[in-house]
Amino acid sequence: MQRVTGIGGVFFKAKDPKALAAWYQTHLGVPVEDWGGAVFRWQHQGNPTGTGSTVWSPFAADTSYFGPGAQSFMLNFRVADLAAVLQLLRDEGCIVDDNTEDSEFGKFGWVTDPEGNRIELWQPPEGQ
């Protein structure tokens, strides 16, 4: 079974997320949306009729979304079957968050690597 199918997002802490996003938009042309991040859309040969996406988003410096540690970033990896990947990780003795999220944006789960970095796993909605 394939575990990770791509990078779904790059999230990082910023002292002033709005100002930093504006700098990236002005100087690097990052297409920042009203919610403060950017979505880069692409196609994949395994899904030629659908589109995939990778999200770029600065978060507030005091966010708890990255877990209890002091990590300044969080990677989001795309997976095809979140429940199966989370179960494999549990079976292998990894630290897997018991909570998951299911929303219009897909299914989300989290695992912590051996250095304490929280990693988000994302099963996109069908067709993405």
pLDDT in tens, 60-87: 999 999 988 889 999 999 999 999 999 9
Residue tagged 């790059």 (tokens): 10
pTM, full prediction:
0.84
Residues 6+ apart with CB under 8 A from 53: 8, 39, 40, 41, 42, 124, 128
Q: How many residues does the chain have?
A: 128
pLDDT in tens, 28-49: 899 999 999 999 988 877 667 7
Rounded Cα–Cα distance for residues 39 and 86 (Å): 25
In the chain, what are the domains? Answer: 4-123 (3.10.180.10)
